[in-house]
A and B are shown apart, each in its own frame.
Chain A
Amino acid sequence: EAAVTQSPRNKVTVTGGNVTLSCRQTNSHNYMYWYRQDTGHGLRLIHYSYGAGNLQIGDVPDGYKATRTTQEDFFLLLELASPSQTSLYFCASRRLGGHSQNTLYFGAGTRLSVL
């Protein structure tokens, strides 16, 4: 079972604040993803990456930056947080190639509140 670890698990900040969400996977997966989950919308893709230094834009990227510093680490940055970014954030990873290449492995989630 792939291991994907997110930190922090909970975060409260104020409008205009600076927030960094961290994700680390320890299974040498190539792809990593950031999703947000909101009631009625399911999971929506913010950014993803297929390797260190790579970044791809997802479906709801506005207000978010991301950086993949290593194969293991993927960060989501909110530089001017707004109340609309209050959400549950999930990181996920998947391998490249092999039978399970289309399967996403999720972290436990980070609950962010922007006051």
Chain B
Amino acid sequence: AQKVTQTQTSISVMEKTTVTMDCVYETQDSSYFLFWYKQTASGEIVFLIRQDSYKKENATVGHYSLNFQKPKSSIGLIITATQIEDSAVYFCAMRASSGSWQLIFGSGTQLTVMP
């Protein structure tokens, strides 16, 4: 069975600091894809960043980066120089490369960035 777990339900940080959100996953597949999505206060869900399991380099997009620790089945999202508008719910998701195409989501982490 495949599973994605986000144990942090909410995090609060001060503006301009760095925050890390945790995510662990379970899969039997040797090849898989990991994603982070952001849901804003308006409800909009947007794709942020992705890590392919066969890539050793951590993905980076803008002020988002990933901490991919394959032996620990962990994919943390790091946001540097946080801004007020980073306040949102962040979802970790996984897709295994075999079988039917389904994206499995974690339960989300609410990030609040304070001025």
User: A residues bordering B, Cβ < 8 Å?
Assistant: 31, 33, 35, 40-45, 48, 50, 56, 58-59, 88, 90, 92, 102-106, 108-109
Contacts and interface: CB of A to CB of B under 8 A. Distances in A.
A74 to B, nearest CB: 15
Interface of B: 6, 33, 35, 37, 42-47, 50, 91, 93, 95, 100-108
Among all A-B residue pairs, the 8 with the closest Cβ atoms: A106-B45, A42-B107, A43-B105, A42-B105, A109-B43, A103-B47, A102-B33, A42-B108
A48 B102 contact: yes
Contacts of B45: 90, 92, 106, 109
A56 B50 contact: no
9 contacts: A33-B103, A40-B107, A42-B6, A42-B91, A90-B45, A102-B95, A103-B50, A104-B47, A109-B43
Contact of B35 (A31, A90, A102): A102
A26 B6 CA distance: 33
Is chain A's interface secondary structure helix, strand, loop, or mixed overall? strand
A31 B101 contact: yes
Contact of A88 (B33, B35, B43): B43
A44 B91 CA distance: 12
B46 to A, nearest CB: 7
A56 B44 CA distance: 25
Contact of B47 (A31, A41, A58, A105): A105
B102 A45 contact: yes
A35 B104 CA distance: 11
A42 B35 contact: no
A106 to B, nearest CB: 4
Contacts of A35: 105
Contacts of B44: 106, 108
A44 B4 CA distance: 12
